[in-house]
Structure 1
Amino acid sequence: MVNLVLSALNAVTDLTKANFIKKTRRTAEVQERFLLRLLQAHRDTEFGRKYQLGEIKTVDRFRDRVPILPYSSYEPFLERIANGKQNILTADPVVYLTLTSGSTGKKKMIPTTRRSQNITRQATLTSMGFLTAALRSRGQQFGKILLTNSTQQWGRTSAGIPYGPASAGVLSMDKWLYGQFFAQPYETLQVADSSARHYLALLFALQDPLMRGMLANFPMLILRTCNYLEKFGEDLIHDIETGTIANWLEVEPELRLALEQRLSANPVRANELREILQSEGKLTPHLAWSNLSFVACARGGTSDFYFQRFPTYFNNTPIFGAVFSSAEGMFSIYHELDDDSSILALESGFFEFIPQDQWQEEQPKTLLATEVRSGERYRILTTSYNGFYRYDIGDVIEVVGFYEQAPLIVFRHRQGGLISSTTEKTTEAHATQVMQAVQQEFSLLLEDFCMTLSENDFPARYLLNIELANGYKLEDPQAFLSECDRKLQAANTHYEISRKDPIPPPRLRILAPGSFAILRQRQIEKGIPDSQLKFPHISEDRNFLSGLQVQQEVRLPEDEA
């Protein structure tokens, strides 16, 4: 029965993908039609009446009539929506309020309606259609997926509207659909404790040697699941053998009971895993699931830094980006394995692009999807059924080509996600490019890194804070620092110019093991969901790394006098 359901869903995703491809051949028409239908649907909302959306009949008129507004302009509307007022930003009732992670600033509240959720589902199914086709071309197949995202909502507003992270809303509203793809029972994702949730998801997934994929929001979270598999290997095997759940896990009693009823002893599978553990000394996804076909997580931006560690756990298993999205909207759909580019999600929103020469303007001139140029970077605006219009989320993307008439885009970094000692504007993309290269050059793996600025120098010097991965040693830290400095100058011309004068030489700080785990825990304690952690690799916050143990500080020869 399960295989029949999965086969039927695969057929649906194939059809959804085929329909999407047809529409990429009519990009301008599809985008205009989406916008005009949305404006008509929302014309009688409070926002629609204010900006006379019902009178807008062309894209140009829309851009003239509706201004680009910051989130603060939407806050008064959102407060009233949270209190139960309807027909404010959307014509459809708001059924869920997504709270952004707040990892890059203040938490934001994003309305979700059934219609906006349906659009998200459609894009997800399209992505799965592309994934299935890509796997077939390699002689592989799509199948059950391990997911560890929490589905716990955080509460309800005074009007009874549930609120919480995006993944909790998406998964709970389409519980049956997404549940068909899980390698573990849905109840595992309802467990509040993060360690217990990961353990239970792994426990059930390990029962199935034919599991095909792993899914997480970000590659760092995939690596964390791998660490849990290594850490709890013996315990997991014992529970599989006996059909029990470790009594030391923090699991809500009702969920423990429900999951125990779903679990049965599997000594044959336990013996298979024990033999792997004894012969290899550890459990990894590639060893535990020999049929693993893909890993799905965010691509672009700083992801490549973490991907360097993937072969340790996944060998050459391909990586799929799935969708490029945020709480504010769905932006693009991935179409290939091991590829950072993705196709603009033509029916998920109406998109505009702000070219770089307009980034400082309060009301910049924008380009449409068919007007952008390959090789150029833009800030992306979205208008969608969640009630935001011409909304600038601050993401910088690069157009790298076209799929039929639709732009292929790659996420590069967030606007404002940079550091400057003077005016050089070093971005996360610069920092990640450098750290990827030096890791390879020095045959080194880092647990993580973060570039910050010194407190007591003027102009401030760059501080490169790194934590070595377990088992690695940096033999020549001064040469490492020198190469980082050289490569950063090559990556960022403005840094190269300012580095000659007035920026002083950078310093390397080697942090004690476990330092970045402490930083991530600090983020969680601030209320950021563990499934939405986006760890910054550059920070202008001079106190960001405060309290961490520096094992060694390294200077360049010119800085030692």
Structure 2
Amino acid sequence: MSIISDFNDDEKGMVLEGLTLNVKQIQDDLLKEILTLNSGTEYLQNFLHGSSAKEIFKKKLPIVTYKDVKPFFDRVANGDSSDIISALPLTNFFMSSGTSGGANKLLPSNNKFLDGYAFINDLLVHVISKHVEGVDKGKGMVFHLTGHETRTPGGLPIEPGTSWYLKSDYFKNRPSNWFYSYTSPDEIMLGSDLKQNLHCHLLCGLVQRDEVVRISSTYASGMVRVIKVLEDSWKELCSNIRSGHLSEWITDSGCRNAVSMVLGGQPRPKLSDEIENICSQKSWEGIMKRLWPKTKYIEAIVTGSMVQYIPTLEHYCSDLPLVSTTYASSESIIGINIYPLCEPEDISYTLMPNISYFEFIPVEGDIVDVVDLADVKLGSSYKLLVTNLWGLYRMRIGDIVKVTGFHNKAPQFRFLGRENALLSIDTDRTNEEYLFKALNRAKLVLKSSDLRLVDFTSYADVSSSAPGHYVIYWEVNVINEDMKNLEFDQKTFLECCSVMEDSFDDEYRYCRSNEFVGPLEIRVVNDGTFDSLMNLSISKGTSVTQYKTPTCITSEKGLQVLEKNVVARFFSTLSASHFA
């Protein structure tokens, strides 16, 4: 993999063109490299017996899920040699976010992942510069966070890719260009306390508000969390700016020293007044552009389970473009969005052929006909497989993607959702696509009543009722700032219940009509409940930068957090005959 950090913009453009013109050759060469290097591993020896031939790989090596290969990963995590699965030393493990079911996966990695991470970042410098004028004239308010590092029983670090990158030489020795120019010193990014880090990030960004040209968080959910912190603490932030001194409760020495350098002990009453005047206005619609007037775009992943946060971001960010740059998972860096200013619903990712070897199982049809990256068809949907240089071989990562076009010979994919059904009581199988469709219709009902959905998760309840039924946990707040308290208007929430389940597929309707599934229930929870759910996940090892609210929750402790915060319950009033 080429190191392109020192390349000029034209040279990076040539790299992108070369990658997308030679997809088949690059993928075949990469597979050959992977199989030749790792042919002696215990795992590949079991199937390939030392062969590195593509045809033997296709014929003999099984397609697997995480459950199939978890015993091999566990052995390495517990102290066995890396060469069980990888000829290159495994240096750490990633804890996946467990987006769909709240169940985390522990996945091995090594420096090849870091190489890919740095490569993609450097390529994005070219892509964004090409589409966003003036982005090189200021700084990024980038909410990088590392969080606490844990270790496997064998002593290997467990951390997300972002954290690992921030601690690496790639980041320490990063190029001095606009992409790596931040309002926050590195010490804040390397802190481990979420509350302290976000306060310090915001404080540095506000002090330098006239220099901010982009605002970035890994996920849309993280950006929404940043805005919530700003809502809760803007008065304290203004006080810090007015006095030139940081609040005493910030005890992280790295953060204190770094922020003190930014503040310089210099009182800024005029700046404090400007920010206070903006934040004290009744409506916070478009607040991000008003606070940071030179901002060109908001960067955060808004595809997949993050689509639910788009309306909230659009409210606070007004006409600022929402830019989703990268398609990545704990298994691999996968692709980039080469048209970053497109509308969220039009986002597709161009897969990069030099990082992992990709295969695709067509969603349509009963015959398992696995195809290569160069052979996918326009308009077809596929289940994604990953083979890489850090110990994954033909692994189903659970993503379903659709081919929307090509850049040169490189396919572009839209992320459709996760492979497994999220909710199931009987023969019904409700996936993310239908759940988000139902949720978006219910949001319109909420909006008409001046209410906004803050966050949600779902659960297939088969124990509290017979037959079982879908439970949707909602945290809701008011849109109109004049409304002091959330009022549980029964008519509104009952309509939301009915609208949601009326959006599900034919199999759900069949089950409801025959009373194999009971009426859908919405359980409204206290303000801050989903923050508590996040804190529970972080306490178990998930990184704050990687955390995403599970679309469907299976964790018993997570359910306990939700249940103890339920303040209202509403059931759909639609009869079984309605679905016939």
CA distance in 2, matches of 1:18, 1:41: 29
| 323-332 or 414-423, which deviates more | 414-423
Instruction: State the Cα distance separating 1:514 from its structure 2 match.
Output: 3.2
Residues 88, 390 of structure 2: 8 Å contact kept:
no
Pick one of 83, 93, 97 that aligns with 1:97: 93
**Aligned AA (1:319):** L
CA distance in 2, matches of 1:504, 1:163: 41
| 278-287 or 406-415, which deviates more | 278-287
Amino-acid identity (%): 21
| Change beyond 3 A, Cα 1:491–1:345 | farther
CA distance in 1, matches of 2:297, 2:32: 38
**Aligned AA (1:37):** E
1:496 is matched with which residue?
Answer: 509
Residues 171, 178 of structure 1: 8 Å contact kept:
no
Residues 348, 413 of structure 2: 8 Å contact kept:
yes
- Asked if 1:548 is matched to 2:565, the reply is yes
Pick one of 352, 358, 371 that aligns with 2:375: 371
Instruction: State the Cα distance separating 1:557 from its structure 2 match.
Output: 6.3
**Aligned AA (2:509):** E
Residues 73, 108 of structure 2: 8 Å contact kept:
no
Instruction: State the Cα distance separating 1:35 from its structure 2 match.
Output: 1.3
| Change beyond 3 A, Cα 1:240–1:483 | closer
1:4 is matched with which residue?
Answer: none
Give the TM-score taking structure 2 as reference length. Answer: 0.84
| Change beyond 3 A, Cα 1:70–1:426 | closer
- Asked if 1:67 is matched to 2:66, the reply is no
1:432 is matched with which residue?
Answer: 436
1:315 is matched with which residue?
Answer: 318
| 11-20 or 317-326, which deviates more | 11-20
Residues 478, 556 of structure 1: 8 Å contact kept:
no
**Aligned AA (2:183):** A
| Change beyond 3 A, Cα 1:498–1:479 | farther
Kindly tell me the number of residue pairs found equivalent between the two proteins.
546
**Aligned AA (2:548):** K
1:151 is matched with which residue?
Answer: 146
Pick one of 341, 344, 348 that aligns with 1:341: 348
Trace 1:8-407 onto structure 2 (pairs within 5 A). 12=8, 15-52=11-48, 55-58=51-54, 60-71=55-66, 72-76=68-72, 79-80=75-76, 83=79, 85-102=81-98, 104=101, 106-136=103-133, 143-152=138-147, 154-156=149-151, 161-173=156-168, 174-176=170-172, 177=174, 180-208=180-208, 209-249=210-250, 251-264=251-264, 265=266, 267=268, 268-278=270-280, 284-336=287-339, 337=341, 338=343, 339-356=346-363, 364-407=368-411
Pick one of 503, 506, 531 that aligns with 2:520: 506
| 335-344 or 496-505, which deviates more | 496-505
Residue aligned with 1:419, SS: coil
**Aligned AA (1:116):** F
2:540 is matched with which residue?
Answer: 526
CA deviations 1:245-280 (Å, max 9, x no partner) are 11022x323542344244322625334323323456
CA distance in 2, matches of 1:506, 1:50: 48
**Aligned AA (1:57):** A
| Change beyond 3 A, Cα 1:526–1:225 | same
Residues 89, 110 of structure 2: 8 Å contact kept:
yes
CA distance in 1, matches of 2:119, 2:234: 37
1:445 is matched with which residue?
Answer: 452
CA distance in 1, matches of 2:569, 2:502: 24
Residues 423, 459 of structure 2: 8 Å contact kept:
yes
| 544-553 or 469-478, which deviates more | 469-478
Q: List gaps (5 residues or longer) in structure 2.
A: 481-485
CA distance in 1, matches of 2:83, 2:46: 12
Instruction: State the Cα distance separating 1:508 from its structure 2 match.
Output: 3.5
CA distance in 1, matches of 2:231, 2:175: 27
**Aligned AA (1:276):** I
| Change beyond 3 A, Cα 1:421–1:197 | same
1:468 is matched with which residue?
Answer: 476
Residues 131, 320 of structure 1: 8 Å contact kept:
no
Instruction: State the Cα distance separating 1:531 from its structure 2 match.
Output: 2.0
Instruction: State the Cα distance separating 1:403 from its structure 2 match.
Output: 2.6
Residues 42, 53 of structure 1: 8 Å contact kept:
no
| Change beyond 3 A, Cα 1:401–1:252 | same
CA distance in 1, matches of 2:573, 2:198: 43
Residue aligned with 1:421, SS: coil
Instruction: State the Cα distance separating 1:354 from its structure 2 match.
Output: 1.5
Instruction: State the Cα distance separating 1:82 from its structure 2 match.
Output: 6.0
CA distance in 2, matches of 1:197, 1:498: 48
**Aligned AA (1:508):** I
CA distance in 2, matches of 1:14, 1:491: 49
| Change beyond 3 A, Cα 1:260–1:487 | closer
CA distance in 2, matches of 1:160, 1:486: 50
Residue aligned with 1:217, SS: strand
CA deviations 1:171-209 (Å, max 9, x no partner) are 111222289332210101222221101001111122222
CA distance in 2, matches of 1:381, 1:142: 40
CA distance in 2, matches of 1:390, 1:31: 14
Instruction: State the Cα distance separating 1:402 from its structure 2 match.
Output: 2.6
**Aligned AA (2:417):** H
| Change beyond 3 A, Cα 1:66–1:259 | same
CA distance in 2, matches of 1:48, 1:12: 40
Residues 354, 379 of structure 1: 8 Å contact kept:
yes
**Aligned AA (1:272):** E
Residue aligned with 1:309, SS: helix
**Aligned AA (2:232):** K
Residues 361, 383 of structure 2: 8 Å contact kept:
yes
| Change beyond 3 A, Cα 1:254–1:117 | closer
| 472-481 or 504-513, which deviates more | 472-481
